[in-house]
Amino acid sequence: MPPLNAFFEDAIRITPQGNNKYSAHLRSEWCIGTVPHGGYTAAVFYNLAQIHFAHAHTKQYDAPASPISIQLSFLRRTATGPATLEVEDVKIGARTSTIHVKLLQPSEKQPDQLQVNVAGYITVSPPTAEVGISAATGWTLHPTPAPGSLAGGKVDLPALGRTGNDGAWTKLNPPFPEFRRAAAQLELYGPGTGKSQRQHTGTMAVDQWARFRPGGDQSGRWTDAAVAYLVDMFPMALDGLDTMSATAVAKAKGEPVSEQMAKFWYPTVTLNIDMKKRLPAGGVEWLYSRIVTKVVRDGRTDLDVTVLDENGEVIALSTQVGLVVSASRNVGSRKLDKL
């Protein structure tokens, strides 16, 4: 039997190079246009943290350390191909440790020089050190998600996966798949497109259930590293932003909205991930996400993502700052068809 999520694990592979330096190879299948997807890049950093502690701090903990918090700044657009990753040990502690991480690639203007494209901080902790108070806060999703067919409005996930429909939920086809190729690595189900969900709720909030399908692998499962990809994967939310952006530009230019569709890119500026609950070693089939945008102003937007498991327990929380820019800034001088 092939290893779990082999296609994904190969795409986030980290190779130690010595002296707190590592290498990776960013893959075109995980791109938005010509730029590696932000969540995919976060998954590369997730794996970097695990490999670094397994390689450089073998005796620090009695169990493998994994990220509980990731804070990344996307300084410049990344590219497919080789990447150098550097780690600085900022704090090595008994319960938590924090590292400063960088992803470097050749400068587009000076290819013989490396530049920092992504930088950030990652805090790790082993599960054996995660002890202390746990308490219910009474928090629930509001508004309540669209109903499925089971008692209390719960979605029948086996039926949804088997037939593509359950209650208000249906299988979705993410828009602009040629440009957003990273979205091909999962199956999405929701109570309508981003535009229709927005019209129904009157807000920029989108709900989705998702199954991981890296490289088309029907046995794919969500793992902790894959969650880092999921928190930045919300095609239907971008569908709503596309409609809103196209409408605004069309109104300003006096053109039909249709002429402005598929002309936008939403690059991540900062991405923060709070990993709340570790998934089992074998992963899980289904994860739910709610994606909320509160304000879009001056070409800048916010995104708030909550990830839950089938039991309604919070797996991860994420916030990010993103831009709304022309898709031409993604491709630039790069050729999309050669990736």
What pLDDT, on a 0 to 100 scale, did the predictor assign at position 142?
87
Q: Where in the chain is the domain with CATH 3.10.129.10?
A: 6-128, 151-338
What pLDDT, on a 0 to 100 scale, did the predictor assign at position 217?
97
The answer to whether the beta carbons of residues 103 and 116 sit under 8 Å apart is yes
Topology at the third CATH level for domain 6-128: Thiol Ester Dehydrase; Chain A (3.10.129)
What pLDDT, on a 0 to 100 scale, did the predictor assign at position 243?
65
Residue length, the chain?
A: 339
Least confident of 229-243, 246-260, 274-288: 246-260
Q: What are phi and psi of 48, to 5 degrees?
A: -55, -45
What pLDDT, on a 0 to 100 scale, did the predictor assign at position 197?
74
Please tell me the distance from the alpha carbon of residue 207 to that of residue 189, in angstroms, as a whole number.
9
Topology at the third CATH level for domain 151-338: Thiol Ester Dehydrase; Chain A (3.10.129)
The answer to whether the beta carbons of residues 320 and 301 sit under 8 Å apart is no
Model confidence at 123: pLDDT above 60? yes
Chain segment 211-231, per-residue pLDDT in tens: 999 999 999 999 999 999 999
Least confident of 20-34, 170-184, 279-293, 301-315: 170-184
Model confidence at 334: pLDDT above 70? no
Chain segment 68-78, per-residue pLDDT in tens: 999 999 999 99
In the block, residue with structure tokens 């999405």: 188
What pLDDT, on a 0 to 100 scale, did the predictor assign at position 91?
98
Segment 29-42 mean pLDDT: 96
Please name which of 82, 95, 73, 75 lies closest in space to residue 27, comparing C-alpha atoms.
82
Model confidence at 338: pLDDT above 50? no
Segment 172-179 mean pLDDT: 81
The 8-class DSSP code of residue 333 comes to T
